[in-house]
Structure 1
Amino acid sequence: MPTATLIELDGQRVLVDCGIGCSRALVDAGMDLKDLTTVFITHLHSDHLLELGPLIHTAWCTGLRQPVTIFGPEGIADYWAGFMASMAYDCAIRVMDEGRVPLGDLVRVVVVQEGAIDGAPLAARACRVPHPPLEHCYAFRFDGSRSVTVSGDTAYHPPLAEFAAGSDVLLHEAMLVDGIDLIVQKSDLGPALRAHLLAAHTPVEDAARIARAAGVGQLVLHHLVPVDDARFAPADWLARAAAEWNGPVTLGHDGLEIAL
């Protein structure tokens, strides 16, 4: 399923990205949706955003009464306003008929910039990363008793190593360049898609270089491109990473839990 990551640290929960399926995934992970308080969105591609509104609305329908803050890039407020407009009839009926607190009164939207992020339940920072053609795409770092850095979608970006330096976990997107052909063939989009993948994503070897330069405790590869090519096994991903870094590497999959 598309990208969504729940970070539980020092008694706080932070959800990073809301790809389709994230509501069910959170429930499967044992989270009561009424406990949702904080969501970070790395960028406005649909595989990171599509279920943001439905997640919050579903949490509200299950009894959410506490405030929820959405931290995201420029354009995130327009997304939320559009979602609320699309659900205006349903929301009004539920407030009138079921006695709910208006959903719009519970949700706060914060547009992030590079640097420290105020108002988050964990110490949080943002690093702008290259993911053309999008202008506003961010990696996030969360610090408490442990440190977790999430790369977001990005081309190889050496400054990310300084941003992630010393993190206990670096969650980094990864691509097998040899697998691009299958994606292009299956999508029937041709050269334009190939050019995008090569310009906007990080080969697994380069993700390992970031981990090595940052001196992280563990590298977790996720947002895998391709994710469903039977020609490539986990050993292929791990071997490519090991060629550049000898630290621990975990290959992401749906439902993966990583102990901090």
Structure 2
Amino acid sequence: MLQLGLVAGVAAYAPAPLFAQSTAADASGAKLVLLGTKGGPRVGGTRSNPANALVVDGSIYVIDTGMGVSAQFVKAGLDFRKLKAIFISHMHSDHELEFGNFLYNNWVTNSLTNPIHAYGPKGMDEMVRDYWALNHLDIDTRIADEGRVDPRELVHGHDLQFVPQQVMQDDKVRVSALPTPHKPLHNFAYRFDTPYGSVVYSGDTSYYEPLAEFAKGADVLVHEALYVPGVDALTKRARGGEAFRNHIINAHTTTDEVGKIAQLAGVKKLVMSHFVPGDMEWITDDMWREGAARHYSGEIIVGRDLQEIPVS
């Protein structure tokens, strides 16, 4: 069972032993695949919108489904038939816009044959139902003409209460969630504990020290990152004002703050992703890394689309 303590007024996670050790014959390991590393809803540039896949002994768990996730999933060589569950961090479009189409693309390839559970903040169950309703003519036609299974019976949306909690557990992974500040929406950070190690995904959040406690001892921390000099250029391009700029600054975590969280958590690897802004090529990897490296002494990876990161 998940062991809970109270730190800074929220639940702190100290995972108990989860799984029996795999034998050499059946151990294939775990890896994180960064499907999309650009923050925000804008399309274009060299990065796709936010999406990730955790692969554990072949089973696949997708975290966020921004625009482009289906194409990136295929480019990464992942198998729709191995998809087990989907986790949405929050209801900004860059994190859920292709949720329905991703499920549809799974179904239309005849890969959706077993139940898939989708977890996220309030609105998940409604989003599942609304997507099937929007596309009911196509779905009903293909069921009748092509003999397909009914996808509406296989996908189950789960609205999570906005509290620290264990979300689910199967034979590959245990998933826990921590609410983090990303006003005005509810965001969840997720922790994935596997037989091979642990991955924590921040979702979108401003600086939040309880997240460091949540990520304590993890092998990989995937954290969003904001580069402050780039925000001025982003504000100018978007023809935004001071309110627009302040929203971006206040709702996200600067590169310096990301390093502080990683150091407090004591994680083995920091993976910077969900870059804000993520489509300005003049911002180099060294620029992203510099702020975090002032505070974190471990390995820093500036994430790239389709990059694979071993979990160990």
Q: TM-score range by the shorter chain?
A: over 0.9
Contact 1:12 1:122 in 2 (8 A): no
Partner residue, 1:110: 158
The 3 A distance-change label for structure 1 pair 119 and 218 is: closer
Using CA pairs under 8 Å that are at least 6 residues apart, name the structure with larger relative contact order, 1 or 2. Answer: 2
The partner residue of 1:67 within 112, 115, 123 is 115
Instruction: Report whether the alignment pairs 1:54 with 2:101.
Output: yes
The partner residue of 2:192 within 142, 151, 155 is 142
Gaps of 5+ in 1: none
Distance (Å, rounded) in 2 between the aligned partners of 1:7 and 1:183: 31
Contact 1:34 1:62 in 2 (8 A): no
Instruction: Report whether the alignment pairs 1:217 with 2:265.
Output: no
Contact 1:148 1:169 in 2 (8 A): yes
Instruction: Give percent identity, aligned residues only.
Output: 38
Gaps of 5+ in 2: 1-47
TM-score by length of 2: 0.80
Once superposed, what is the RMSD of the aligned Cα atoms?
1.2
The partner residue of 1:156 within 169, 183, 207 is 207
Name the count of aligned residue pairs: 259
Partner residue, 2:37: none
SS at match of 1:116: strand
TM-score by length of 1: 0.96
Distance (Å, rounded) in 2 between the aligned partners of 1:27 and 1:79: 23
- Pairing 1:29-108 to 2, within 5 Å after superposition: 29-63=76-110, 64-108=112-156
Shift of 1:229: 2.4
Partner residue, 2:70: 23
Shift of 1:11: 4.0
Contact 1:23 1:55 in 2 (8 A): yes
Distance (Å, rounded) in 2 between the aligned partners of 1:38 and 1:230: 33
Judging by fraction of residues, say which structure has more helix. Answer: 1
Q: Which moved more, 1:112-121 or 1:61-70?
A: 112-121
Distance (Å, rounded) in 2 between the aligned partners of 1:218 and 1:119: 24
